[in-house]
Amino acid sequence: MNQNDRFDPEDHPELEQTDFDRMTAKGVSRRNFLRGGAAAMGLFLAASPLAQAVAAATRSESSKLMGFKAVAASTADSFVVPEGYVAKPLISWGDPIIKGAPAFDESGTQNAAAQAGQFGDNTDGMSLFPLSEDRALLAVNNEYTNYEYLFAHGGQQDLTADEVKKSQAAHGVSIFEIRRNAKGEWQVDPASDYNRRITAYTPMELTGPVAGHALMKTAADAKGTRALGTFNNCANGETPWGTYLTCEENFHKYFGSAEDEVDLPARDKRYGLKAGNRGYQWYRHDERFDLAKHPNEPHRFGWVVEIDPMDPNATPKKRTALGRFKHENAALTIDNNGHVVVYLGDDERGEHLYKFVSKGKYNANDKAANRDLLEEGTLYVARFSANDGEIKGQGEWVELTHGKNGLTAANGFADQAEVLIFAREAATQVGATTMDRPEWVAVHPDNKAVFCTLTNNKNRGKEGQPVGGPNPRAKNNYGQILRWWPHNGDHTDSRFDWDLFAIAGNPTVAEGLYAGSDNINADNMFNSPDGIGFDKTGRLWIQTDGKYSNEGEFAGMGNNQMLCADPESGEIRRFATGPIACEITGLTFSPDQRSVFIGVQHPGEKGAPSHFPAGGNSKPRSTIMVVQREDGGIIGA
Q: List, for residues 381-410, the tens digit of each pLDDT value.
A: 999 999 998 999 999 999 999 999 999 999
The confidence score (pLDDT) of residue 55 equals 38
Query: Which is nearest to 170 in space by CA: 190, 150, 156?
Result: 150
Q: Among 384, 529, 528, which residue's Cα sits nearest to residue 467?
A: 384
The confidence score (pLDDT) of residue 279 equals: 85
pLDDT in tens, 541-550: 999 999 999 9
Count other C-beta atoms under 10 Å from residue 366's C-beta: 10
Residue 118 Cα distances to 100, 102, 174, 323, 606, angstroms: 10, 8, 8, 31, 23
pLDDT at res. 123 = 98
Summarize pLDDT for 279-320 with one digit per residue, the tens.
899 999 999 999 999 999 999 999 999 999 999 999 999 999
3-state SS track over 85-114? EEEEEEEECCCECCCCCCCCCCCCCCCHHH
Among the listed ranges 45-54, 56-65, 438-447, 574-583, which one has the minimum average pLDDT value? 45-54
**What does the pLDDT read at residue 62?**
80
Neighbours of 278 (CB within 10 A): 20
Question: Is the pLDDT reported for residue 8 higher than 50?
Answer: no
For residue 494, pLDDT over 70 is answered with yes
Please check the confidence at residue 559 and state whether its pLDDT lies above 60.
yes
The pLDDT of residue 579 is above 50: yes
Give 355-378 pLDDT, tens digit per residue: 999 999 999 999 899 999 999 999
Arithmetic mean of pLDDT over the chain: 91
- Going by DSSP bridges, is the β-strand pair 450-454/480-486 parallel, antiparallel, or unpaired? antiparallel
pLDDT at 153 over 70: yes
Average pLDDT over residues 146-165: 97
* Mean pLDDT value of segment 598-612: 98
Is the model more confident about 53 or about 609? Answer: 609
Averaged pLDDT, 147-168: 97
Report the run of H or E that residue 536 belongs to, with start and end: none
235-284 confidence digits (pLDDT tens): 999 999 999 999 999 999 999 998 878 899 999 999 999 988 788 999 99
Of the two residues 330 and 29, the one the predictor is more confident about is: 330
Kindly state the percentage of the chain with pLDDT values over 90: 88
